Chains A and B, each alone.
Chain A
Amino acid sequence: MLFEQTDSETALRPLLKEIPERIELIRQKRDSFLTDAVLLGEIPSPTFGEKERIRVVADRFRENGLSQTLVDEFGNASAELPGTEGQSSILIMAHADSVFSPEVRHEIQVGSDFMTGPGIADNALGLAAMISLPRMLSELNIHLRDNLILVANSRSLGRANLEGAHGFLETMSLPARAGICVEGSTLGRLSYSGLGTLRGEITLQVPSDYDWKRFGASGAISHLTGLINQIREIPIPKEPKTQLVFGGLKCGSSYNTSPRQGSLRFEITSEEDEIIGQMENQLNEICEQFSAETGTRVNMEVVAKRKNCGIPFTHPLVRTTRSIMQEAGITPQVDPSTGDLNALILGGLPAVTLGLTTVENLREVNETIRLDPLYAGMAQLLTLIQAIDQGICDS
Chain B
Amino acid sequence: MIKQTDNWLERNTFHHSAFWDLIKLVEEKEKKGLKISLCIPTLNEEKTIGKEVLILRSELMERYPLIDEFAVIDSGSNDKTLEVAQSYGADVYLASDILPEVGNKRGKGENLWKAIHQLKGDIICYVDADISNIHPRFVYGLVAPLIQRDEISYVKAFYDRPLNYSTGLRPSGGGRVTEILIRPLFSLFYPELSHIIQPLSGEYAARREVLEKIPFPIGYGVETSHLLDLYEKYDLETFAQTDLDRRVHRNQTTNALGKMSFGILQTFFNRLHAQGKLDRMPDLETFYRRFEVEDGHYRQLAQEVVEEERPPMIEVEGYRQRQDAS
Contacts and interface: CB of A to CB of B under 8 A. Distances in A.
B84 A32 contact: no
A108 interface: yes
A42 interface: yes
B50 interface: yes
A38 B133 contact: no
Interface in B37-83: 46-48, 50-51, 54-55, 57-59, 62-63, 80, 83
A110 interface: yes
Contacts of B62: 31-32
A39 B55 contact: yes
Contacts of A39: 55, 135
A110 B54 contact: yes
A42 B54 contact: no
A111 interface: yes
B84 A31 contact: no
A271 to B, nearest CB: 43
A31 B89 contact: yes
Contacts of B80: 111-112
A23 to B, nearest CB: 17
A87 interface: no
Contact of B47 (A31, A38, A109): A109
Contacts of B50: 109-112
A9 interface: no
Given A107-B133, A112-B84, A112-B87, A35 B47 contact: no
Contacts of A34: 54, 58
Contacts of A32: 58-59, 62-63
B54 to A, nearest CB: 6
Nearest to B134: A38
Nearest to B51: A110
Given A112-B84, A112-B87, A38 B54 contact: yes
B270 interface: no
B210 to A, nearest CB: 32
Interface string A22-40: 0000000001101100110
A31 B58 contact: yes
A42 B88 contact: no
Contact of A38 (B51, B57, B63, B83): B51
Contacts of A38: 51, 54-55
A113 B88 CA distance: 10
A35 B248 CA distance: 18
Given A110-B50, A111-B84, A112-B87, A35 B133 contact: no
Interface string A1-35: 00000000000000000000000000000011011
A209 B63 CA distance: 66
Contacts of B55: 35, 38-39
Contacts of A109: 47-48, 50-51
Nearest to A117: B51
B132 interface: yes
Contacts, number: 47
Given A31-B89, A32-B63, A107-B133, A112 B54 contact: no
Interface residues of A, number: 15
A144 B46 CA distance: 41
Contacts of B133: 42, 107
Contacts of B51: 38, 108-110
B265 to A, nearest CB: 34
Contacts of A107: 132-133, 248
Given A112-B80, A112-B84, A35 B132 contact: no
Interface residues of B, number: 22
A363 to B, nearest CB: 22
Contacts of B54: 31, 34-35, 38, 110
Nearest to B135: A39
Interface in A25-84: 31-32, 34-35, 38-39, 42, 63
A241 to B, nearest CB: 42
Contacts of A35: 54-55, 58-59
A107 B88 CA distance: 19
A42 to B, nearest CB: 7
A32 B55 CA distance: 8
A31 B57 contact: yes
Contacts of B84: 110-112
A111 B47 CA distance: 7
Nearest to B47: A109
Contacts of B248: 107
A34 B248 CA distance: 21
Contacts of A112: 50, 80, 83-84, 87-88
B250 to A, nearest CB: 12
B253 to A, nearest CB: 21
A113 B54 CA distance: 12
B290 to A, nearest CB: 29
- Among B50, B88, B135: residue with most chain A CB under 10 A: B50
A39 B138 CA distance: 14
Nearest to B23: A63
A42 B135 CA distance: 11
Contacts of A108: 51
Contacts of A63: 63
Nearest to A31: B58
- Among B47, B63, B80, B89: residue with most chain A CB under 10 A: B63
Contacts of B89: 31
Contacts of B59: 32, 35
Interface string A75-108: 0000000000000000000000000000000011
11 contacts: A35-B55, A35-B58, A38-B54, A39-B55, A63-B63, A107-B133, A109-B48, A109-B50, A110-B50, A111-B46, A113-B87
Interface of B: 46-48, 50-51, 54-55, 57-59, 62-63, 80, 83-84, 87-89, 132-133, 135, 248
Interface of A: 31-32, 34-35, 38-39, 42, 63, 107-113
Question: 8 closest pairs, A vs B, by CB?
Answer: A110-B50, A112-B87, A31-B58, A110-B51, A35-B58, A112-B84, A32-B58, A35-B55
Given A31-B88, A32-B59, A109-B47, 18 more contacts: A31-B54, A32-B62, A32-B63, A34-B54, A35-B58, A38-B55, A107-B248, A108-B51, A109-B48, A109-B50, A110-B50, A110-B51, A110-B88, A111-B80, A111-B84, A112-B80, A112-B83, A112-B84
